[in-house]
Amino acid sequence: MTERILITGTGAVSGAGRDPATMLNALLEGRSAIRAIESWDTSGWPVTQAAEIPDFNARALVDDRKLHKLIRRTDLVGIYAGDRAAEAAGYAKHRESLSSEASTRFADRTGIYVGSGGGAFENQYDYFPLMSEADGDLRIFGRNLADTVNPMWLLRTLPNNVLCHVGIRNRLKGANACITNHSVGGALAVIEATQALRTGEADRALAIGHDTPIEPQNVLYYHGCGLLASDGLRPFDASRTGSLFGEGAGALALETETAARARSAPIMGEVLGGGYVTEASGLLSIRDDGDGVVRSIEAALADASIGPDAIGMVVAHGNGTWLSDASEAIALARVFGARCPPVTAFKWALGHLIAAAGIVETTVAIEALLRRTVPGIATLERPANEAAALALSRTAQEPRSNVALVLCRGFAATNAALIVRAPA
């Protein structure tokens, strides 16, 4: 597996901006997208804040109005990010220069790997009025179902809508997979796409992650599990109280070096390796010694054939929950010891994007490497004791090299690590 996997385009959207550069600017300026939720009335709710995309305009994201009837909000942001990455990589422009036969082969050799949020309660909201009307009588419910629920309901709730429509819109027909694995879904899309290119399943592939978890039931249930903050998201801070949701999507256009060089594609960076493990300890439990994080990092380093000293910056998961941050800090100290590179986290500004978190943060990490900066954590007041060994800062630092490690964690104690490199 000597073929290098290059990044030829990126795309992203979140409450902090509609491209990685804008998001990085917000981080560097200490601006958070977390504010009062506007999508429903939160009066009396225990949690009232999230990082929603401001002035959400479906037409500005996806211009096909007919398609809006068949997809959900999460699909809109996923398609937007995927389209932007394909555009940045120059897929359409290159295809126009090819013969019909070569264009067909280009389509056949381009894959799509998508990490989606599979647990959207909003999928069932169409049924609520009829459930109230039927008052438990299944005969009434069944008789009126077709007249009450949108006949496009099934098509709208498919978890692979982004994979489907990005492929159609960009004429991509190669290897593909749809991954629904909570917060690590987007990171896994990158890992799977990278492996597919290494083994010759495709010459290039879009890796996409998308999620819009800001909805009433999600907020209620996460709060009930003790995972959401009451007054802001403060990664690794001694006074942290939990996480807060964000929404958005990210995408990377990946390509083998041979294929990218052959068409003179733009080179934004490189995926060096990835690792993914589970602690197999329970749905919500996390080992306090950071075992899963350590093993995912070690797997990614081995995959990249580099050592810890090669890492120039770490984008931690840093979701602001007590045990996750503590165990992650312990894991980073175990891996890097006294030579810890600058450590940052982005969720204080972007919110927790669940399935999109890892890949969106990777797009921003690449932008940060290109600018030779490590954004600070503006909400950091007093680092927790277990984070004392980490090179944390409220203000920007300089990366130790042009290589970034991005960490992502999810339910069932899943842990993913991505290592990316920017051009020297």
Structural tokens at position 103: 């264009």
Identify which of 205, 203, 209, 183 has the alpha carbon closest to the alpha carbon of residue 193.
Answer: 205
* The pTM of the whole model exceeds 0.85: yes
Q: What pLDDT shows up at residue 382?
A: 97
Amino acid 1: pLDDT: 52
In the chain, the amino acid numbered 394 is R
Model pLDDT, residue 10: 98
CA 51, CA 283: separation in Å to the nearest integer? 25
Domains, the chain, in order of start with CATH, read: 5-118+159-421 (3.40.47.10), 123-154 (no CATH)
Of residues 117, 403, 91, the one with CA closest to residue 254 = 91
pLDDT, tens only, 11-42: 999 999 999 999 999 999 999 999 999 999 99
Please, what's the b/e burial string for 122-147 (b: 16 or more CB within 10 A of its CB; e: otherwise)?
bbeeeeeebeeebeeeeeebeeeeee
pLDDT value of residue 418: 98
Between CA 205 and CA 185 the distance in angstroms is 16
Q: Among residues 206, 123, 118, which one has the least CA distance to residue 166?
A: 206
Return d(Cα 288, Cα 35) in angstroms, integer: 31
Would you state the pLDDT for residue 240? 97
Q: According to DSSP H, which parts of 126-238 are helical?
A: 128-134, 138-148, 153-157, 161-170, 185-198, 216-224
pLDDT along the chain (424 residues), means of 10: 90 98 98 96 95 95 91 95 98 96 97 86 85 93 88 86 96 96 96 97 98 94 94 96 97 98 97 96 91 98 98 98 97 96 98 98 98 98 96 98 97 96 94
> Which residues sit opposite 418 in a β-bridge?
274, 406
